[in-house]
Amino acid sequence: MTTKQRAFLKGLAMKTEPIFQIGKSSVTPELTAAVDEALEARELIKLSILKNCLDDGASIAQVLAERTHAEVVQVIGKKIVLYRQAKDEKKRKITLP
C-alpha cells in the first residue's frame, strides 16, 4: 500500500465510528471471525480498544491483520483502522487512488 492510498483511507476512516470494541479477552477466534466478515462487507473498519485490555494497539492490529489478511491503515492510541479489498468485485465500495 502506498502512502497516498494510506492517506486516502485515513481520510475515509476519520468519518467512521468504531464497530468493534476489544476488551480484556483481547483477540479471540470469535472476534477474528467477526472482523473478517466486517472487512468483507465494508472493506474499511475501525476498532476501539477498551481500557481494561492489557495488550497494546499495535500488537493487536498486527495480529488481526495477519489473521484476516488485511492491511493496518493506522493505529492511534486506542483506535485501530484496518482495510481489505473485497474479494467479490461487485461488493467493492472503495476505489484506491
At 1 the pLDDT is: 81
Per-residue pLDDT band for 79 (boundaries 50, 70, 90) equals very high
Q: What is the mean pLDDT of the chain?
A: 91
Domains in the chain, CATH or no CATH each: 3-85 (3.30.110.60)
| Cβ burial 6-31 (10 Å sphere, 16+ → b, else e) | bebbeebbeeeebebebeeeebeeeb
pTM: 0.91
Mean pLDDT of 20-24: 91
Q: What is the mean pLDDT of residues 3-19?
A: 92
CA 58 to chain centroid, in Å, comes to 12
pLDDT of the residue at 92: 79
